[in-house]
Structure 1
């Protein structure tokens, strides 16, 4: 199908029929073969993006695949990158080469994406369409892949978008490119609206699938339930949900009762179960890899584990009247405050550089502590074996003693050393105190410092990667995401059994009705904001106009006060904007035409018949002579004029305003001895001027620049020949 028949204007998105007809599978092995034949040695990202490699390797591949005009080519490049990354992990001997190939795939995806940037809706379709990697494959290939997967057809249907593939492969340069961020920001703000076909969801509502479109509040309904899925509004609602969960958590622990269930405990359990259902739905839809890539989801998952532990102990205590189990349940639940309180703060200031650095430092710290604990477990077993005859030391008490020593209480290591063994005890405890207090602590500080330095070097890419991850997580197809906790529990209880009984159309109608009933105040607030208070709306612009009018009515000494200027802003920007907004119908004549036509050489005086002095030869007017006047001595005007003047009796009529060249080459019918002598003087003066120009620094500089240009051309030709030779050798 011709792409021109599918896109009538830039405002129309590709049709679903056209997207379904695109062949994806043939691109994957083709890109893999081209990359294998191109990269044979390890190259860094800086080398891949260098001008010579880009000119000789990257650009030919980009132009080759861009001619296909296949919207799935960016997704296919990222799929091939995931293959090379897996090969780098499996084959360590060729890890450098495979990582270079993976980097080339990401670079190809970036370059190819720029070819779709002219059509905004087409660009959105390239990044957000969920592509099936087996689309366009033959039946033999599909059956062979089915056998390799164990004969399960459910594994064959695994569509993903290019953005999701970029997140799973950690293509941070691709996600940080301006073209990609343009689409991500439009999705975040709700300007671009698209719905994902629900394939791996708990509650799917695929009856009315909406294509990609630009949102217009004029044509949208007042209670538009699709606006609840906009990531910008979803983040604000997530903050409110965390605040409600935190309040109920605090009230549950404040009014705890081990003998019976209180009202606040029931409310907290409802909100906590709704929070668990929301997180489980997110992990089911996007997959565990994309879900766990967000560090805050790790904290959320930790709180869910704490809640599950609390629920098990609490049910056991109430069922068997076991008071200790109920007390332990509340103790476990109290540990959740260490996660829930910071999590609320990080929701409000997520994806900042400080938060990203802190998150990376926490992950590195946990990993290092885990490795250290495994290393020192041998010492723990040794001390426990040496103190078997001493009933004072148990395995737990020895572990607690080692933890105290690890965090700085080295006095215990020397005071309790002989209680383990009179000879080996002091030696082992001294070694442990030296390692934990000096060596490993220094290593830990160095690791954390390197983490912060590495993040600061790539702060922009890391920030944009987390921002893209948050946006993609916010655009979810599951119907449960349109409900705010705890109403998602109600929707799950009512709509999940109904999906097995009613038709898809009836399920869709019931779903829309339930969303509008449970989220009525939120939908009204969103509609009022987008119609009256959003940027560019009439009410907001009128309010800004009134504020500007009030500000301009203030006295001059008040407007120029430092505190007022800091709050309102300087008026210089308004002045500059007013200058460039002014429409000017005519051009200003800044240059005098007579000055442009003024002769370069002034006419010689009649009373001066001697050649100019060396100082006069170097006057500035001779340095700025036009390039066409700088001829060699063979073609100088002196030789041509002498032959004409020697054979002719006519002499030039000298005009006071004419130039020396006009006097030489203009013939008149009058002749006089005075005029002939003046012409001879002019010829001699012109000859001296030409000689001075030949010896001037400007002429020497031009010759040196010409020589440098010739050298540069020879070097470029040599590089082109070498790169072609390298490609021929690699292909051979």
Structure 2
């Protein structure tokens, strides 16, 4: 698609037909079509066609946003580009009345959006479709930098708000410090300020966690543990509100989203076990605190991600983690058959000592990770011929073949990211910027005060 002939015969005629300096929705429409084509590529028959159409839509969006940038210089041009990228568009705009009525059903039945129901921005579509070349274009980067620094202000369109604040809707506009009040609380939703605030909140969470674990077994444990539980509950509420505001698809693009989800799971299980210990008056067992120890590698790793969000290693880890988990899940699912075969094989031979299920799983794990070959030596306990045959086949498939495929897959993925390092960094910065602009009033209350705000203001709203 980058050849001069294709550009002359296809790209330029399409741009001349689609570009209109007064039509700001064309970029949104192109990216919406790209999202649809990407979803259609799951069909094997039309996969190559759908991918080509999706890439064509992104290429056209890049060229059109470039034309808007060239035709609109200065601050006025920045405002124009911002309206194209971060102002919401209605997908049913211009449709017949019956289609508009049937299509505009409420996202959240008890919330009135004041005319902004189901509007989506072009930048959000670019993130969902992973249009990294479009996001790295100069025009798009100019808007992202302006939003990040707070030069462009607006009220974002959210999916669901815990504490809706829709009566203060602010359209996309340039920030004028001379007209702004001295203490402007809306400056707290500027992504640069928001990132610093959330980083400090996370530091407090880590400090409370360390103090709780250091005072384990002392008389001061109850005080630090109470503070940690209250603050962590508020922090989990903050993360939950961030997820439902823009959806999991956007939130999962953050580098540390899977770490936040892991800590939330650990904290939930810890609170559940701790509550049971309090009810049955067996807090001396310390089972809940033992489980809470698992949060240490998660919290400290997440801290490293926060300190170096633009480092290519962390970006690669985020990208490779999804493929690693999928491949590991598939391998575990397939290798479960070996476990069942050995269990049933051992059950059928009553003349020998039958190893327990835990022992069989331990042997298979050792073979899988290449730690020990005890399972191969003891496989004759299952069957003189079939037992060694199954374990040796598992060793070939689980250790040799699986690791070869895994290393090749992750190496290829890492090479792709390193080649497009600048594009990947700009894409992650766009995700942080877009999600950093908040509309939910719950974000105005830091943990743990957001818990009290939710308990008091939600019934009143």
Same fold (TM over 0.5): yes
After superposition, where does 1:491-530 map in structure 2 within 5 Å?
A: 491-499=453-461
* Equivalent residue number for residue 287 of structure 2: 328
Residue 154 of structure 1 deviates from its aligned partner by 9.1
1:441 aligns with 2:403: yes
SS of match in other structure, 1:115: helix
**Residue among 82, 91, 94 paired with 1:133:** 91
Q: Which residue of 1 is the match for residue 59 of structure 2? A: 107
TM-superposition CA deviations, 1:492-525 (whole Å, max 9, x none):
23332332xxxxxxxxxxxxxxxxxxxxxxxxxx
Q: 1:268 & 1:86 partners in 2: Cα distance?
A: 43
Question: Is the partner of 1:383 in helix, strand or coil?
Answer: helix
Shift of 1:455: 0.9
Aligned partners of 2:21, 2:430: CA distance in 1, in Å? Answer: 28
The answer to whether the 8 A contact 1:131-1:161 is kept is yes
Cα RMSD between the aligned structures? 2.7
Would the alpha carbon gap of residues 317 and 459 (structure 1) be closer, same or farther in structure 2, given more than 3 Å must change? same
The partner residue of 1:384 within 334, 339, 343 is 343
Residue of structure 1 equivalent to 2:430: 468
- In structure 2, the residue matched to 1:13 is none
Residue 80 of structure 1: aligned partner: 33
| Structure 1 pair 288–135 and aligned structure 2 pair: CA distance change class (3 A) | same
Q: Corresponding residue for 1:64? A: 17
Tell me by how many angstroms 1:345 deviates. 1.1
SS in 1 for 2:256: helix
Q: Following the alignment from structure 1 to structure 2, what is the Cα–Cα distance between the partners of residues 330 and 294? A: 29
Partner residue in 1 for 2:256? 296
State the shift of 1:75 in Å.
Answer: 0.7
Deviation at 1:257, TM superposition (A): 5.7
Q: Does 1:315 align with 2:275?
A: yes
Kindly indicate whether residue 156 of structure 2 is the aligned counterpart of residue 196 of structure 1. Answer: yes
Native 8 Å contact 2:119 2:157 kept in 1: no
Assess, with a 3 A threshold, how the Cα gap between structure 1 residues 199 and 418 changes in structure 2: closer, same or farther. closer
1: CA distance, partners of 2:6 / 2:91? 30
- The match for 1:418 is 380
TM-score, normalization: structure 1?
0.58
Question: In the TM superposition, what is the alpha-carbon distance from 1:197 to its structure 2 partner?
Answer: 5.0
Further displaced range: 488-497 or 174-183: 488-497
Map of 1:213-224 to 2, 5 A cutoff? 213-224=173-184
SS at match of 1:398: helix
Contact 2:159–2:247 (Cα < 8 Å) also in 1:
no
Give 1:323 deviation, angstroms: 5.3
2:223 to 263, 268, 273: 263
Which residue number in structure 2 is paired with residue 116 of structure 1? 68
1:458 aligns with 2:420: yes
Larger Rg: 1
In the other structure, the counterpart of 1:98 is 50
Query: Quick one: distance in 1 between partners of 2:397 and 2:219?
Result: 49
Unaligned runs of 5+ in 2: none
Aligned match of 1:477: 439
Q: Distance in 2 between matches of 1:318 and 1:258?
A: 17
Seen in structure 2, the aligned counterparts of structure 1 residues 313 and 258 have a Cα distance that, compared at 3 Å, is farther
Alpha-carbon contact 1:132-1:158 (below 8 Å) kept: yes
Residue 51 of structure 1 deviates from its aligned partner by 1.6
Distance 1:183 1:68 in 2: 18
In 1, Cα distance between equivalents of 2:387 and 2:329? 25
TM-score by length of 2: 0.90
The match for 2:120 is 160
Native 8 Å contact 1:174 1:180 kept in 2:
yes
Query: How far 1:358 moved relative to its partner?
Result: 2.2
- Relative distance call for 1:355 and 1:75 in structure 2 (3 A) is same
Q: Residues 355 and 403 (structure 1 numbering): CA distance in 2 closer, same or farther, change over 3 Å?
A: same
